[in-house]
Structure 1
Amino acid sequence: MPPETPPHATDRLDDDDYPAYTMGRAAEMIGATPGFLRTIGEARLITPLRSEGGHRRYSRYQLRIAARARELVDGGTPIEAACRIVILEDQLEEALRLNEELRGPTPARDGDG
């Protein structure tokens, strides 16, 4: 068997949880300011990872969460409420996914289809 080759950094870019984006790039991608990202970080909506140099790094998943919060804030929702709404939406989505997973496939009934 050939030895396994370690994954390249570019292989991780498909990983939704890989912290690939700097604060500046992340803010640019969601149409926000770095200050907005800091604020939702302080509200514990997202917790960016830190590079070896101490710089914040964001994943695509975190950017989707931040973009949803920005959408709510742009619509007039106070930032604290927007963060809570996004957290609850995320929890609901996860609960629905787990519920579906636990149910498993539904057997076809006679007469369906």
Structure 2
Amino acid sequence: MTAEDSFGRLDDDDYPAYTMGRAAEMLGTTQGFLRAIGEARLITPLRSEGGHRRYSRYQLRIAARARELVDRGTPVEAACRIVVLEDQLEEAQRLNAEYRAASVHV
């Protein structure tokens, strides 16, 4: 991938553009927190060729939501489970809306 290709992907929510240090800085948290939510399997960062963790904007949004819950006193494992369930509910609601819209047009 060329530099030009990489630059063009910066608008892609799934492009792993952020290092662990930069991600932690942006979230106002520690690298240890990012490791903890990775161990809880909330997010799985991609790895650079050198083996360093890289995060996408989508992953940072998920991590930010988990951090909000942890800051309110929710244990990390529970916060990760809540975020996963919220994400699943949002997807189910989106699919239901699509099915309802499709059935109206039939």
Question: Cα distance, 1:106 vs. partner?
Answer: 8.2
Structure 2 length-normalised TM: 0.89
Question: Cα distance, 1:103 vs. partner?
Answer: 2.3
| Corresponding position of 2:8 | 11
- Find the aligned partners of 1:69 and 1:57 in 2 and give their Cα distance: 18
| Corresponding position of 1:70 | 67
- Find the aligned partners of 2:25 and 2:83 in 1 and give their Cα distance: 20
> Are 2:99 and 1:93 equivalent residues in the alignment?
no
- Find the aligned partners of 1:84 and 1:35 in 2 and give their Cα distance: 18
Structure 1 length-normalised TM: 0.84
Q: Which runs of 5+ in 2 are unaligned?
A: none
Quick check: 96-105 or 58-67, which moved more?
Answer: 96-105
Count of residues paired in the alignment? 101
Give CA-to-partner distance per residue, 1:65-108, whole Å, 9 cap, x none: 0000000000001111101000000111111112212222686x
- Find the aligned partners of 2:26 and 2:61 in 1 and give their Cα distance: 10
Secondary structure of the structure 2 residue equivalent to 1:93: helix
| Corresponding position of 1:61 | 58
| Corresponding position of 1:45 | 42
Question: Cα distance, 1:31 vs. partner?
Answer: 0.8
Alpha-carbon RMSD = 1.5
Give CA-to-partner distance per residue, 1:15-52, whole Å, 9 cap, x none: 11111000000011111100000000000000000001
> Which structure shows the bigger proportion of residues in helix conformation?
2
- Find the aligned partners of 1:11 and 1:105 in 2 and give their Cα distance: 34
Q: Indicate the structure (1 or 2) with the bigger Cα radius of gyration.
A: 1
What fraction of aligned residue pairs are identical, expressed as a percent?
A: 81
Q: Which runs of 5+ in 1 are unaligned?
A: 1-6, 108-113
